[in-house]
């Protein structure tokens, strides 16, 4: 750890671009970020040549990358995924589980405890996101039906005990028996409770908000839309995501899970304060087309990578994305029509706020020194995590 300066950059804040900007990093914090000021320069200087410097990108929903899945539950899988995502601009990520056996999940916890504090080996991993197993079978998507269940109190208490201090968010279906008590306990522990893989109506969503649900996992994917019961129409979770200001949402902005029209709709309707972008990537992110596995190598499901996305073998449904963060930012700019400041905000400040990571998401003195440097084509040249350069395209 040391002090150094990046100059000659276009600094991205939530509201503007600072031309000819500079960032001074001291140990793991930003010491200065703003217009060039010779008096602020400290340590070795690197001129980024007019590229953008943004806060480090945060991927709050990813299952892996580079041929690795976090459910492999090995140090190699965690670090290999973090390195691949770091190469594409992600400075911070949440390793995300799939519906799996409790033994498999507990093994993930054990490995994550060992790697969580490792620095300089790719994106930082401050905590985990549990996706499941408390989902509606009818909306499970590519989740393994063997492990989908209702939120039994003894089971979630055991999972919380095994994952003590590791879990930052948990996705579940609020209409299931026991889901509201489960959400109240997550709220008590400061864990983000997220609506996912669900058939809930807007009435259930109202109750969910009252009991602690604050977020919607991959809006449009694996959830109810307008429901018709005995001739009457009821809003589902998709409509609820737009109706209730109390909820934030995330979208998989890979250009496959949602077409350009829906990317634009989400961006224009929800705005940058309520919308985050995520990869939801599986092990195929950063890998060539061909056969792959969704979930662990030991107990996962076969899938195929083609057309920029992972699919089930019969091509009846997607099996997760293979996107990296640079693709998300590029798509929100080019497909959704967002200015670069907004595209970046949806993968920096907004996820930081959703997760309660108060020292991340801004380029400002005193904030964590997480930085992503990239050009006009959204090609990443440098990723910095807590002051440590974890990817440098020049080396």
d(CA 193, CA 170): 5
User: What are the Cα distances from residue 265, in Å, to 206, 222, 223, 268, 358?
Assistant: 23, 18, 17, 5, 28
* Alpha-carbon gap, residue 138 to 236, rounded angstroms: 14
Please give the share of the chain, as a percent, with pLDDT higher than 70: 100
Residues 315 and 172 in one domain: yes
The answer to whether 73 and 108 are in contact (CB under 8 A) is yes
Q: Are 138 and 169 within one domain?
A: yes
- Residue 195 sits in which domain range? 56-359
pLDDT in tens, 121-132: 999 999 999 999
Domain count, the chain: 2
Band the pLDDT of 13: cuts 50, 70, 90.
very high
pLDDT, tens only, 33-91: 999 999 999 999 999 999 999 999 999 999 999 999 999 999 999 999 999 999 999 99
188: left (phi over 0), alpha (psi -120 to 50) or beta: alpha
Asked if 95 and 165 sit in the same domain, the reply is yes
Give 1's pLDDT tier (boundaries 50, 70, 90). Answer: low
Residues 156 and 261 in one domain: yes
Q: What is the pLDDT of residues 151-179, one digit of tens each?
A: 999 999 999 999 999 999 999 999 999 99
pLDDT for res 170: 98
Domain of residue 94, CATH code: 3.20.20.140
pTM to 2 decimals? Answer: 0.97
Question: Residue 201 and residue 184: Cα distance in Å, rounded?
Answer: 19
| 85 and 228 part of one domain | yes
In a domain, 101, yes or no: yes
Same domain, yes or no: 105 and 17: no
């Amino acid at each position: 750890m040391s002090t150094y300066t990046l100059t000659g950059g276009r600094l991205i804040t939530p509201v503007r671009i600072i031309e000819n900007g500079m960032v001074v990093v001291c140990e793991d914090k930003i010491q200065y970020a703003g217009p060039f000021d010779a008096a602020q320069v400290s340590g070795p200087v690197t001129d980024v040549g007019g590229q953008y410097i943004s806060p480090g990108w945060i991927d709050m929903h990813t299952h892996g990358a580079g041929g690795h899945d976090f459910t492999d539950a090995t140090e190699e899988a965690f670090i290999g995924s973090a390195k691949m995502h770091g190469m594409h601009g992600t400075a911070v990520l949440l390793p995300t589980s799939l519906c799996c056996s409790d033994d498999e999940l507990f093994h993930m916890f054990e490995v994550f405890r060992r790697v969580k504090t490792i620095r300089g080996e790719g994106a930082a991993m401050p905590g985990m996101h549990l996706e499941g197993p408390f989902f509606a079978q009818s909306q499970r998507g590519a989740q393994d039906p063997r492990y989908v269940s209702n939120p039994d109190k003894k089971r979630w208490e055991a999972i919380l005990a095994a994952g003590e201090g590791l879990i930052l968010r948990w996705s579940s279906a609020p209409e299931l028996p026991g889901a509201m008590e489960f959400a109240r306990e997550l709220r008590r522990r400061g864990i983000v409770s997220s609506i996912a893989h669900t058939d809930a109506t807007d009435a259930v969503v109202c109750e969910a908000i009252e009991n602690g649900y604050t977020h919607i996992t991959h809006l449009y994917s694996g959830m109810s839309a307008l429901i018709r019961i005995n001739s009457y129409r009821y809003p589902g979770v998709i409509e609820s995501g737009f109706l209730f200001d109390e909820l934030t949402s995330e979208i998989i902005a890979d250009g496959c899970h949602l077409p350009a029209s829906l990317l634009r709709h989400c961006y224009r309707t929800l705005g940058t304060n309520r919308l985050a972008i995520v990869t939801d990537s599986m092990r195929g992110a950063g890998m060539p087309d061909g056969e792959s596995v969704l979930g662990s190598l030991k107990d996962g499901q076969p899938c195929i990578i083609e057309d920029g996305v992972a699919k089930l073998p019969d091509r009846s449904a997607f099996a997760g994305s293979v996107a990296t963060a640079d693709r998300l930012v590029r798509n929100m700019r080019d497909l959704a029509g967002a200015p670069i400041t907004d595209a970046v905000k949806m993968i920096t400040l907004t996820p930081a706020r959703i997760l309660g990571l108060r020292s991340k998401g801004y380029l400002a003195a005193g904030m964590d020194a997480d930085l992503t440097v990239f050009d006009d084509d959204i090609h990443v040249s440098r990723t910095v995590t807590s002051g440590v350069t974890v990817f440098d395209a020049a080396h």
